[in-house]
Structure 1
Amino acid sequence: MERLQKVIAHAGVASRRKAEQLIVDGRVKVNGKIVKELGVKVTPSDKVEVDGIPVEGEEPVYFLLYKPRGVLSSVADDKGRKVVTDYFEHVKQRIYPVGRLDYDTSGLLLLTNDGEFANLLMHPRNEIEKVYVAKVKGIPSKESLNHLQRGVRLEDGKTAPARVKVLSSDKQKQTAIIELTIHEGRNRQVRRMFEAVGHQVQKLKRERYGFLQLNGLSAGGARELTAHEVKQFRALAKKSTGK
């Protein structure tokens, strides 16, 4: 179920804020009845009308983006910085990122207009793996790597166990390339995990999300997910929850 104002906005009738005003003004009907409450949620089978004109739901779309560094995981920015939706100006649907990657982090990001699908992927209980490759300052000890694997204590709680692999290290420059696999999605989690064991992240990239990889894409490149890939993600989430 989606909030009524969100459905109206996604259909391209008006912005989210304007849609809220339309509801308050009594110009919106759901299944023939005027609705003035902003908390109302509707399903795809409900008939929504604005000023007597039926609101047609958008066709769901799903995209994979290789987000470059220096781009916001947002649909707009009041400071005029580049955002991920700038790469989809040809897409008529109102898409938004599934979760986020930090401004200085590059890599695989999904975008969609399907709220149910986005929630399915982001919910921690579904434990969808995300693989990051980090260049860190210093060479982590075996003890530090084990600490990352067991979970580290952050200000918002202990992280779940992770998988850690050292890809390379440079004793002269005192840097290391580490692959970290997690299934949580806390704010700046990977950077904070490395900081917790004494290693600052100098560069970070998300290489994989679930079974998806960046194969064949350059920074700023994107492609649409296939119907089979969307089904795979839904099956992956259901399998993890046992439903």
Structure 2
Amino acid sequence: MRLNQYISSSGFCSRRQAERFITAEKVLVNGEIARHVCFIEENDVVEVNSHRIKHTSEKIYLKFNKPSGIICTASPTIENNIIDYIAYPERIFPVGRLDKETEGLILLTNDGSVVNKLMKEENNEEKEYLVTVDKRITESFLVGLSNGVDIYNPRRKGISRTNACSVLQLDDYTFRITLSQGLNRQIRRMCRHFQYTVRHLKRVRIKHIQLGSLEIGQWSSLTEEEIVDLLR
């Protein structure tokens, strides 16, 4: 098994984070600084930042209804982090993120392969949100959102065009939007483009997994059917 995959599948971190540790020369294999092109055998000893990696065959998949104010990071040094809030007895990490102010569905796991599957934009995995804005919704606003919007992308430090998407008005101030992208603060930036401000934002679906009746601040394990579809 490749080193980055070995680290991520242990639940220590995602595969991308594992690659960063390797690049920073913070990974040892049998006491030697590891390189990216490295395959781990059964009896090899792997350490990341002096932490011994223990491989586990049991995979954990949770869904969580994140409250506003909780930060989607596994870093124990950050106050109100999602891991401390859930206090799950095994090592897990969030798949992707929701803004601190945003509520709703987020997945947590110890399976690093799921991160790659869901986070790669080219996989076009759908995420559905309920959005409440500060003034009455107009037809031109809905059409503009659905056709795509030019917004600032801090990763590229420039403008990116959002993909065409499904938008459905629910009442005078609320709509449902389905995205396949994951740009930073995308919905808030899209609304701001049309001089709207988001008052409440909640994710209710990731791919086929529904938030359903899960109460805010609560988590549950995915069903076998949800796991099969997630990994498909």
Give your verdict on TM over 0.5: yes
Going from structure 1 to structure 2, the CA distance change for 1:128 and 1:212 (only over 3 Å counts) comes to: same
Taking the aligned partners of 1:10 and 1:234, their CA distance within structure 2 comes to 16
Going from structure 1 to structure 2, the CA distance change for 1:181 and 1:117 (only over 3 Å counts) comes to: same
Going from structure 1 to structure 2, the CA distance change for 1:154 and 1:226 (only over 3 Å counts) comes to: same
Tell me the equivalent position of 1:39. 36
Of 189, 193, 198, the match for 1:192: 189
Equivalent residues in 2 for 1:7-26, closer than 5 Å: 10=11, 23=28
Cα distance, 1:56 vs structure 2: 4.3
Contact 1:4–1:41 (8 Å) recurs in 2: no
Going from structure 1 to structure 2, the CA distance change for 1:106 and 1:5 (only over 3 Å counts) comes to: same
Taking the aligned partners of 1:8 and 1:135, their CA distance within structure 2 comes to 38
Contact 1:3–1:40 (8 Å) recurs in 2: no
Contact 2:131–2:200 (8 Å) recurs in 1: yes
Going from structure 1 to structure 2, the CA distance change for 1:85 and 1:48 (only over 3 Å counts) comes to: same
Going from structure 1 to structure 2, the CA distance change for 1:7 and 1:208 (only over 3 Å counts) comes to: closer
TM-score, length-scaled by structure 2: 0.80
Instruction: Give the counterpart letter for 2:212 in structure 1.
Output: N
Mapped pair 1:167 → 2:163: no
Going from structure 1 to structure 2, the CA distance change for 1:226 and 1:193 (only over 3 Å counts) comes to: same
Instruction: Give the counterpart letter for 1:3 in structure 2.
Output: N
Contact 2:60–2:110 (8 Å) recurs in 1: yes
Tell me the equivalent position of 2:62. 63
Cα distance, 1:8 vs structure 2: 9.8
Of 86, 94, 112, the match for 1:88: 86
Q: Pairwise CA RMSD of aligned residues?
A: 2.9
Going from structure 1 to structure 2, the CA distance change for 1:115 and 1:140 (only over 3 Å counts) comes to: same
Contact 1:62–1:225 (8 Å) recurs in 2: yes
Contact 2:10–2:111 (8 Å) recurs in 1: no
Instruction: Give the counterpart letter for 1:49 in structure 2.
Output: V
Contact 1:4–1:38 (8 Å) recurs in 2: no
Equivalent residues in 2 for 1:53-202, closer than 5 Å: 56-58=54-56, 59-76=58-75, 78-80=77-79, 82-92=80-90, 94-156=91-153, 157-169=160-172, 176-202=173-199
Taking the aligned partners of 1:41 and 1:61, their CA distance within structure 2 comes to 26
Contact 2:141–2:194 (8 Å) recurs in 1: yes
- Structure 2 residues not aligned, in runs of 5+: 154-159
Taking the aligned partners of 2:36 and 2:46, their CA distance within structure 1 comes to 17
SS, match of residue 194 in structure 1: helix
Aligned length: 212
- Structure 1 residues not aligned, in runs of 5+: 170-175, 236-243
Query: Taking every aligned residue pair, what percent have the same amino acid on both sides?
Result: 30
Equivalent residues in 2 for 1:201-220, closer than 5 Å: 201-220=198-217
Contact 1:8–1:55 (8 Å) recurs in 2: no
Instruction: Give the counterpart letter for 1:69 in structure 2.
Output: S
